[in-house]
Each structure stands twice: as structure tokens, then as C-alpha cells.
Chains A and B, each alone.
Chain A
Amino acid sequence: MTRTAAAETFSDNSGNTVKPIGVYGSSVGFASALSAVMLTISSAFAIGDDTREFIVLVVVAVVCGLTGAALLRRPFSPSALRPVPTMTAAVCGFILVAAISTIVYLATGAIERVDDALYESVAGVSTSALTIFEDPSSLGDGVLVWRSATQWLGGVGAVILAVGLLPFLGGSRELAGGPQRRERTRDALSTRPLPAIRRVGAIYCVVTAVVTVALVVAGMGVLDAVAHALSTVSTGGFSTHADSIGYFDSVAIEAVLVVAMLGAGSSVAFAWLLWRRNIRETRRAFELQVYLAVVAVSSLWIWWLRHDSDIGVSQGFREAAFTVVSVMTTTGHRISDWGSWHPGASTLLLVLLVVGGTAGSVSGGLRWIRVIGMAQFVWRELQRQLHPRSVRTVKVGRSTISEDSVDRMHAQMVYVMTLGAVASLVLGLFGEGLTEAITLTISAISTMGPGFGDAGGVVSAADLTRPERAVLMPVMLTGRVFLYPAFLSVGAGASALCAAMRSIGVRR
């Protein structure tokens, strides 16, 4: 394959000129191809369970597979990797998976209404656990696996975006997660986007397989193991049972899931370093240390807050630790009804939910690196009052964060607050209570899903009206793509629309 720099054209083996695909093509190609793989796996579970499901899954898989293959056969032109189109293309990828999923739900008859199917699909790709199914176990096996697979696909997209794309597209590499090192030019994963994406994908697949096997060993059935592995490594949180993980009531399963969720909430760069046996480098990761310390302290704190309730000491600790990890990694698995716990406990969970996991992970939220950075920033401002001419840099652990990145941290905080305020406002207008409106919004932005009810208990999608779900859909999706890519895509889409209207002669 030869390439001339000027014309950006490629030739195939027989010498014919092939037009390379850009970011949109490759985004659609990847989304279709990965969906096809997941649909095929899902269809295997439908064999002998539901023939209609099997046929639908296979047909959609074939269509997706062909589309993906047709697109990905053509060479990719890396020079097209410009910020706004790439981010817009990534958002399109998410929407495409949601569309495929909507078709699957409707064609299999799992969901009857288009808006419900679309909602469930968006909740899936945005890795939120806010499902409309009160009892998912009534669904067919193939659809159950596919439902978890939509979260897995959303997770892949998110982690590629977080580690493989955003750091290279004018984002902050220091904020991309991974061990913080002093030499900024040497990233943990790669200094170029494509190898980074490839490695991230490989890590994600291997981890999913390992978690599946671990769950089977811990005593889950194969169907449940696959479904939960897919929805756990993506911090999604869809379960196959109405009581979520509480259904199994097994310490072994909970332990496996806690470890898997903690891993999903930490940067993939750590997995990469562990794989390379670079333990020393991992130990230096300040953000990871803070994250794990917060998990430990919060679990103990919540356990202590509930120590006088009638549950036993060990059961209390199990519930506290599992819930803290599930909420903090924005997964949303449940083993008990945390919404009705001591207000101190649920408030702490809400705060943890805002922050989420570490940078470069699948989890949503602000991420601990920003909290650490902002704390340093605030400390610096206080010190400036005392010493007006002091010079101080913002550091995470031992590595310095550039002033540009500090600015971006501020911007990200403002994005989250603005989106949260607007969404809560609209939910309030639709008649949600103050607590529900705020917790649901935070939960949606952080991609966990369920909110906390005022009267106790966890708010699920079944409690929401259709207009409310319609409000939450874009919020969840925006949260999943780390906010600003969504804003940029909307802007890019709007300007494209204006251009199109002008070209057909529409004037203001």
C-alpha cells in the first residue's frame, strides 16, 4: 500500500485507487463491527431459548458485520484526526449502537414502544443502570446478554475516547489518567493515538474474559456471568435480576464484582503497567492511592453509621463496601436498598458519585485527579492572599499540571454544574421532587443511573414518566462522552445544519 502525501489517496493490491475513510467512516465501521461481534455472542445464548430472538440477532449481526467489514477494509487516513470531527464521529458511534440496539429490542418484541426501546438503548450505551425493566429475568436470554453488551460497547467507546482520543485532541494529557510521571512526553500507554486505542481495546477484552471466568468460578451461571461481566467492566450496572446482585446473596460473587468494579474505576493505564510488571510505577500513582483510600474510608464510615441497625457486623460491612464501590465507580449494581440508609450515608454516596473513579477509566464523574488538582488550586489561591508574590504549581502527586490543564479543569466543573442545573430544573418542572431531580441528574451525568428518593429507596426508570426519560437521555449520553465532546458535536451539527439550509436557499 503506497501513499502519496499530497493527494491522500491509497491504492489496493491491483493498483486501483481507493478512497480512504475518515473519522466518521471508521467510527461507524468500528461501532458496527463490534456490535456484530456482540450480537453474535448474544445470539449464541438465544439458541434453544427463543427462535425469533435468535433470527433477529443473527440478521442484525450479519448486516452490521457486512457494514463494518466494508468500511474497515478501506485504509484509514490518520491525518484526518482533527478535534471537532473526531469527537463528533465518536458521538455518532454511540448513537449508532443505540440505534442498532433499538432495532433489536423492537424486532425481538422485548419492548413494544419505540421511545421505550430508544431509552433503554441510550441508557445501555451510556453505561447507566437506569433500566425500564422492573424484572429483567423475564426477558429472553439473547436479549439479556445483548442488553449488557450495549453497556460494554459504551464502555469501550468511553475508554477509547478517554485514553486514546481526547488526550491527543487538545485535551490535557496530564488529565488522561495513568501514573503521573515527571516526564510528560512519555505516556504510560503510547505517545500516539492508534497504538493507544489498540492496547486499550485489548486490555478491555482480556479483563472482560477474566471477570467472566471468575464469576463462573464464584458460582454464577454462564448466562449471568457473561451478562454481569459485560455490564461490570464497563461500569454499566445492568443486571439480569430485579434485585440486581442481591439476588445471588453470595460473598464470593460480591468479592469478584468489587474487584472488577474497582479495576474498571481505575485507569486502564494501570492495567497496562501491571501487565508489563511495572509495579513500582503503579505505586507512584497518587490519584490511585487517593481513590483507594477514599473507598476504604467511606466503606468504614458508612458501616459505622449503620452499625446500630439490626443487620450483623459482617453483613453491614459487605453492604457498605459493595455499595461504596458500586456508586463510586458509577456502576450501579445493588445488593441492598441504599436509598433508605442513614442520610449521612446516602449523602456521602452522592458526593462520591459526583467524583467517580480515576482519570482514564471507564467510570463517569469528575474523576479524582480533578478534585486533587482543584484542592491544590484552592490552596494556592489561599496562599496568594498571604504571600501575594508566591509562585506555586498545581501538582497531582509529584507531577505538575500545566496552567492550561488547570483552566480545563475549571471548565469541566462549570460544564458539569451547568448541565446539572439545567437538567434538574427541567426535571423539577415535570414534577419531580427536589431530591429526586438533583440525585437523578447527578446520577445521569456520572453515568450511574438510579437516583435517591425523598421518601427513601432507589428511584428507577420505571418510576419516571416518558418526558422525564427523554430529558435524561441526552444528559446520560453527554455524561458518557465526558461532556465537552457532546457540546462540540452539537455545535458542529448545528453549523452543518445551517450550512445545509443555506445551500438549499433557506434564509433567515
Chain B
Amino acid sequence: MRVIVVGAGEVGTHVAQLLSREGSDVIVIERSAARIAELDKLLDVSIVHGNATDPEVMQAAGIGETDLLVAATSSDEVNLVASLIAKLEGVERRVVRLERPGLRGSRAARLHEAVGADLVIDPDDAVAREVLDLLAYPGAIEIARLADNEVLMIGAKLDAGAPFVGQTLSEIGARYSPNWDFIVCTITRDGRTIVPRKDHELLAGDNVRVVCKTRARADVMRQLGLGSGEAHRIMVLGGGRTGEILARALVAKGHVVTIIDRSEERARELADELDGVLVLLGDITDASLLEEEDVGSYDAVIALTGEDDANILACLFAKKAGAKETIAVLHRLELRHLLRDAGVDVTISPRTASANEVLRTLRGGVTAVATSLDDDIEIYEVEVGLGSAANGKKISDLGLAHDTLIAAIVRDGKPRIGRGDSELQALDHVVFVAHGKDVDQLSRLFTGS
């Protein structure tokens, strides 16, 4: 498959990386020469220097033979024009990043049709939604909703006190047999991620991902040693677009929200736009401000500024002061696993959520994708095709590799946890866990195309 990614910003770069890792032929169009020099060291892709609104640049990138265009610059206008050019050149699918509210949603459906935008992504909005999900499951470090919200993937770090700790998977399984509500999909220990087998034991300090039926989530949360009770008072650090979207959504859900921004003009705008939110003017790393506002009394503190160090420092301070949960947005990811022990509970990146949506569009028949920054394990949801090889077979007969797992099967809206003797039928939704490199082959197995 041939993919053009326009704009090598955070999202564009990550998408390009993900796709090239999976074997796609990726061409990146970037305007800044300085950025291209950086990319050369980072990515194994071809790079075209120029502006994507210029048809000649697009030709140089080989727009004619391309299957997918991802327009991910920070400018809505450039993305729209790039998509339009791609449509005219016969590119099959187009993903467009749009940020202005008026250009998104059903109101702009005609515009999307005109420029041929199959999928509209917005990293800021995606981050806000990710934070909202995480807040709904306090203590979890990863959340993915699958199969129309019937199946849930919860990622968490096991504390010594968690009921699961010290048990092997078969011991845990035996207690719940035969009505399994969940399955442990991956264990990450000492930086290595594996898909576990029955005799693996869970230890304190492990990062685990569990796929469960959504209605059994309370029990699974308990077994993982995670908190119950949703956060009520929330402090949002950084009043950028993400912060604004998040604060608005939280207020609408009845939370008490405080938001801090250091620009007076922006603070005023936020006070204008957000009813019922306490807007504070100040720097988020100003300890006296955080103390004055008693940051420790908040249930959750979320740092969303564009500066990683400020986000980290503010979260560390809040955690020390007593805030229950801290979430930081990080743009550079090298040191993120160190932070969890220091006091930043969750780190999220603007790039993943959008990348998941792009991957979903890339593969027909795939309805949901969850990828991780820590490893190359991906969680997919696909529909079993009528003519596929998997139709009518038991899971144990599929001959799957040992590091591939069918976690759940959803039939007629009812989820079941995957076992060796579970039989697959056409139109079932299958949630599977696999390495990125195997995903293409697997989805062909299930969809039959």
C-alpha cells in the first residue's frame, strides 16, 4: 500500500512511523527544511519538500498511484486543499485533520463530501476524549472501548495490594470458570511485553492489559486494585484547545472544573466561553499559585500545555500535595516510563488517538484499533467475513501464532471471552491482540479479503 502523509508534525510523524513499520510505502510531504533534516534520522520513509497545496509537489510525491492520503498539518486550509487535490487525482481514501469546530461534525458534511474527506481527525479532540475515558476509570493508564462499547480494554499497573497479584492466570481463570468476564491479554515487565500463557504469574509492578465485558468492569477494576468513585473536582492546567474542549465536556457532566492559563488574553477568552468554570491566570509551574488554589484537594489534575517539562513538574507538585490522580500530556516520549514511579499517574500523547483512527480507515472491515506507545502490540476489532477462512472454525483450529490472542467475540451485541473451543461465525466481531507486523495477515484471515 502507498500512503502520502502531509505534514510531519507530531501526528503526521507518528502515523508515518506506524504505517512504515507495518510495511506500507510511506511518502511524507513537509514544508520546513529544518524539520526534514530531523525526520531523516527518525523515519525510514521518503520525504518530499514542498507545500501540499501545490499540485506539482503532489505529483512529485506520486499522488497518482497512492491509496491513502493523510492530511495532518496544523492548518485546516492546507489539509482541505490537499484532500481536494487527492480526490481529483483519484486517491482512494483521504483522512483530513480539521480543528475549527465549524469545519467538523455533521454541519460540515457537505464540505467533507466536496473535498472528499472520508475521515476527519482532530488530535486535540481525541486527547480530550482520551482524558475523559481515563477519568471515568480512575487508576487505569489505558482505556479503549471496543465493539460498540460492549467490550473494554483496561490497562493498569498492578500494585502489591491488588487481588490479582501472586496468582497465575490459570488460578484466576479457575475461579471464574465457566463464565469468564475478562481475559488478561498482555503483561509488560521490565520493558518487555508478552502475550501470556496459562502458567504466567502476575507480579506487583506489572503493567497488564485486560479485555473485559463492559458490564463486568467494576469487578475487573477491583481485581486490578484500581479505585472506584469517579473524580469530582478536576483541575485542568493549560487552557489551549484541548483544555477548553475538556473543561466544557467536564462541566457538562457535572464536574467542578478549574482551568489555568498564563496568557491574560486567553484566560479572558476562556472566561467568556466556559460558563461555570473557574479560570485562573498564572503559570502552571508557579508553586505559589498551585498552593494558593490548594491543588492537593483536587481529585484529578490534568496538565495539557505544550511544554512537557511544565506538565511533568506541575503533575509532580500536585501529586506531592495530595491530588488523587495526575495525567500529563507528553510530546516527547523517551522518558515516560520513569514518570509513573515519580508521581505522574498517566501520560498520554496527542499522536496515538489520531493514529488509531487513521489505522482503522486504512483497513476495510476494521471497526476499532488501539495501539500503544510502549510496545508494538495492537488491539483490533474486525468483523468476520462470509467467505473468510475463519468462518465456522474453532479458534484452536485457526493455527494462530503463540503471541496472537483472540480476546473476545461479540455476536448479536453479546460479548463472550475467547476460548480455544469458541467457534467463529460470519458477522461476529472479533477483538484480537497481535503484533503490528502480523495484523495485515490476520485481518485477511478474518475478513476474507
Contacts and interface: CB of A to CB of B under 8 A. Distances in A.
Contacts of A400: 272
A392 B271 contact: yes
Contacts of A392: 271, 279
Contacts of B289: 389
A391 B275 contact: no
Interface of A: 383, 387-393, 395, 398, 400
Contacts of B267: 391
B281 A387 contact: no
Interface string B286-323: 00010011000000000000000000000000000000
A249 to B, nearest CB: 48
Interface in B252-281: 264, 267-268, 270-272, 275, 278-281
A398 B268 contact: no
Interface of B: 264, 267-268, 270-272, 275, 278-282, 289, 292-293
A387 B268 contact: no
Contacts of A390: 278-281
Contact of A393 (B264, B271, B278, B280): B271
B275 A387 contact: no
A391 B259 CA distance: 10
A162 B270 CA distance: 31
Contacts of A389: 280-282, 289, 292
A391 B293 contact: no
Nearest to A394: B271
A497 B158 CA distance: 88
Given A387-B278, A387-B280, A398-B275, A393 B292 contact: no
A388 B281 CA distance: 9
A301 to B, nearest CB: 29
B304 to A, nearest CB: 18
Nearest to B239: A391
Contacts of B278: 383, 387, 390
Contacts of A387: 278, 280, 292-293
> Top 7 nearest A-B pairs by Cβ distance?
A391-B267, A391-B279, A393-B271, A391-B281, A391-B271, A389-B280, A400-B272
Nearest to B289: A389
A391 B279 CA distance: 5
A388 B292 contact: yes
Contacts of B292: 387-389
21 contacts: A383-B278, A387-B278, A387-B280, A387-B292, A389-B280, A389-B281, A389-B282, A390-B278, A390-B279, A390-B281, A391-B264, A391-B267, A391-B268, A391-B271, A391-B280, A391-B281, A392-B271, A392-B279, A393-B268, A395-B272, A400-B272
Contacts of B281: 389-391
Nearest to B264: A391
Contacts of B271: 391-393
Given A389-B289, A395-B275, A398-B275, 6 more contacts: A387-B278, A387-B292, A388-B292, A391-B264, A391-B268, A392-B271
B338 to A, nearest CB: 32
Nearest to B268: A391
A302 B282 CA distance: 49
Contacts of B272: 393, 395, 400
A389 B270 CA distance: 14
Nearest to B286: A389
Contacts of B270: 391
Contacts of A393: 268, 271-272
B18 to A, nearest CB: 40
Q: Which of A387, A391, A392, A393 has the most CB of B within 10 A?
A: A391
Contacts of B279: 390-392
A382 to B, nearest CB: 13
A400 B279 CA distance: 15
A400 B272 CA distance: 7
A390 B293 CA distance: 10
A383 B268 CA distance: 16
Contacts of A388: 292
A395 B279 CA distance: 15
Nearest to A393: B271
A388 B291 CA distance: 12
Nearest to A400: B272
A377 to B, nearest CB: 14
A385 to B, nearest CB: 12
Contacts of A395: 272, 275
A392 B281 CA distance: 10
Q: Which of B268, B272, B289 has the most CB of A within 10 A?
A: B272
A400 B270 CA distance: 12
Q: Which of A388, A389, A393 has the most CB of B within 10 A?
A: A389
A395 B274 CA distance: 11
B367 to A, nearest CB: 39
B107 to A, nearest CB: 17
B447 to A, nearest CB: 48
B36 to A, nearest CB: 41
A72 B279 CA distance: 54
Contacts of B275: 395, 398
B302 to A, nearest CB: 19
A394 to B, nearest CB: 10
A466 B258 CA distance: 61
A182 to B, nearest CB: 9
B413 to A, nearest CB: 39
Nearest to A182: B272
A387 B293 CA distance: 7
Contacts of A383: 278
Nearest to B270: A391
Nearest to B259: A391
B280 to A, nearest CB: 5
A386 to B, nearest CB: 9
A393 B293 CA distance: 20
B329 to A, nearest CB: 22
A390 B271 CA distance: 9
A388 B293 CA distance: 9
A393 B280 CA distance: 12
A288 to B, nearest CB: 19
A167 to B, nearest CB: 21
A464 B259 CA distance: 59
A264 to B, nearest CB: 32
B133 to A, nearest CB: 29
B68 to A, nearest CB: 39
A16 to B, nearest CB: 55
Nearest to A399: B272
A387 B278 CA distance: 9
Nearest to A398: B275
B14 to A, nearest CB: 35
Q: Which of A388, A390, A392, A398 has the most CB of B within 10 A?
A: A390
B358 to A, nearest CB: 35
B273 to A, nearest CB: 9
A284 to B, nearest CB: 14
A383 B280 CA distance: 11
